[in-house]
Amino acid sequence: MKTKVTRIYCISMLLFMTLFICAACGIKNSENNTYMDLSKYFNIEDIGGNTSCAIVIDNNIMGLGIIKGEDGIYIPYDIVRSKINKKFYVDDIENLVIYTTPDEIIDSEIGSTSYEKNSVKQSFEKATSIKVDDVVYISFDYCLLMSNNVKYEIAENPNRLVICTTLNNTLIEVNDDGKLRYEPDSMSEILLDIKKGETLYFVDDAGEYSKVANKTGITGYVKNEILGDRTEKFIELYYESMVYEHTVRDYKICLGWHQLGSSADNGSLNDLVSETKGLNVVSPTWYQISDANGNFTSLSSKSYVDMAHSMGMEVWGLISDFNYDDENNIYYINEVLSKTSSRRELISNLLLEVSATGMDGINIDFEKISSTYGEAYIQFIRELSIECRERDIVLSVDMYVPIASNMYYDRTSVGEAADYVIVMGYDEHWAGCGQAGSTASINFVTSGITDTLMEVEASRVINAIPFYTRIWSETPEELSDEDDEIIEDSIFGNYSLDSFAVGMGTAKRYVNEHSANIVWLEDLGQYYAEYKEEGITYRIWLEEQESIRKKIEVMKEYNLGGVACWKLGLEINDIWEIIDEYVNGQ
């Protein structure tokens, strides 16, 4: 009896396991046959009571636009600028949408059905832009009027605008009917049915699936087994590229900055440049932003320009932005550039100086722009460049060595509009940076040049070299003042750090007077000196003939447009032989 019961139990377990395995296999081989709501896929929702429209650009859902009946589609400004046409600029303070070409400024008030092109009013059959919930939306038709640089399709159910800006696309043909799924998984929801013979855009590989998109902007995953070969297709976009004419000299520039503290310093020009060789541009620090309205202090002098011209040098007057608005806790320049009226007042004031002095160029040295005002800064350069171009005035712009934290300075756009981009190839280590080090090591200089060349052509890039260095002092914690900031060093002991800038001759004298030990550092491309005095360690990374020669060699290698020098009066005379050889090719 026990054997019979056992046999029945075993048979039951066998049947149960068989059914379980079959069920499991059935689950494994089943597919999800539900379809995703495409309104959910595109995140469709009303915007301020308006019908919305998905914006898809190059197979990516960028966000939502607005449909205004017969007026068509309006796209958020940030999408227009970042993905469609970055020549647009919105001034929220003065309620303007501005479009800038190499020779025209086109203004339109937000909500207006007209625009001004070079101050001439022209009609537009709908609002050029609207504002909803504090967001500015630009008419897609207005975008196309300004520059038809996209291919697009409009689809429904749900509403969407599908834009193509990519020239090269990979196409893939469907060999059999199938499903486009939301995820690369048979249990994922279906976005739509794929038909044999249909052509899709290939986006990416995903194991057994491929990520693809159709022409109506729906991107998902299809099994590779139903896909054919991939082919490359070049999409021709029917628009004329904007051409910027640049005022560029047919010789290498050698610019020396002349720092002035008062109008009387204009009289020092002759003595300052008497021993120089190869110098063909002098840039006096004449102008400083002085308020939030576009005004600046001036030390300019027409006689200075006349004297420079008599010595065979051009004058590119420099304007800087170091003055601060204590009340609003912001540098004045950010307030100036954020408003179109004050930005254009600044431009107008600069042009008056050009007329009054007869100077040959303007040198923009704006180093205090915050990331919030990056777009306003670019708009300033574009608008100023139009005026300089009309007057055959050289526009040069000083730029930091490119690093992640200053990419909003947008060297591509600046380099497109300005004549010369000057890389400030120094201040690798600066007062307050928290670490002693070189002012301009060869790797720092090389990176500054090569990274800038990724955005600006070499013939219009000028590399600036330092005629100065810093003397660093490391004071042990026990000798430091009570309020000194202490740097922790587990190897050599904690210390406070200080430094001051000196010219080449002064640095050399310090080394000699203290009998400092000097060594050549090949990896930095310069000499290093160190000495101790009363328990304090002093370090100097020297700038002299050999360090400058190393920098010049890099500039020769990349065939740059020239060299700039900060600042005149801090150099040793032997430097000019090296610079002259570079500039004049002797």
Residue keyed to tokens 């587990």: 490
Dump pLDDT digits (tens) for 363-392: 999 999 999 999 999 999 999 999 999 999
User: Could you give the CA distance from residue 551 to residue 553 in angstroms, rounded to a whole number?
Assistant: 5
Choose among 531, 499, 495: nearest CA to 513.
531
Helix H or strand E encompassing 424: strand 420-424
- CATH number corresponding to 166-234: 2.30.30.40
Choose among 84, 100, 102, 94: nearest CA to 138.
84
Beta strands in 140-198 (DSSP E): 151-155, 160-164, 168-174, 178-181, 190-194
Fold of 40-160: Copper Amine Oxidase; Chain A, domain 1 (3.30.457)
What pLDDT does 234 receive? 77
Bridge pairing between strands 105-109 and 96-100? antiparallel
What pLDDT does 168 receive? 75
User: Could you give the CA distance from residue 411 to residue 401 in angstroms, rounded to a whole number?
Assistant: 10
Interior angle at CA 551, CA 438 and CA 359, nearest 5:
105
Amino acid at 530: E
pTM of this structure: 0.92
What pLDDT does 15 receive? 52
What pLDDT does 50 receive? 95
CATH 3.30.457.10 residue spans of the chain: 40-160
CATH 3.20.20.80 residue spans of the chain: 252-424
CATH 2.30.30.40 residue spans of the chain: 166-234
Dump pLDDT digits (tens) for 176-235: 999 999 999 999 999 999 999 999 999 999 999 999 999 999 999 999 999 999 999 876
CATH classification (class only), 252-424: alpha beta
Q: Under a CB-based contact definition with an 8 Å cutoff, are residues 538 and 531 in contact? A: yes
Helix (H, G, I), strand (E, B) or coil at 313: coil
Choose among 56, 54, 81, 80: nearest CA to 65.
54
What pLDDT does 162 receive? 96
What stretches in the chain show pLDDT beneath 70? Answer: 1-29, 235-241, 586
The side-by-side arrangement of strands in the sheet containing 468-476 is 486-487, 495-503, 468-476, 536-541, 526-533, 517-521
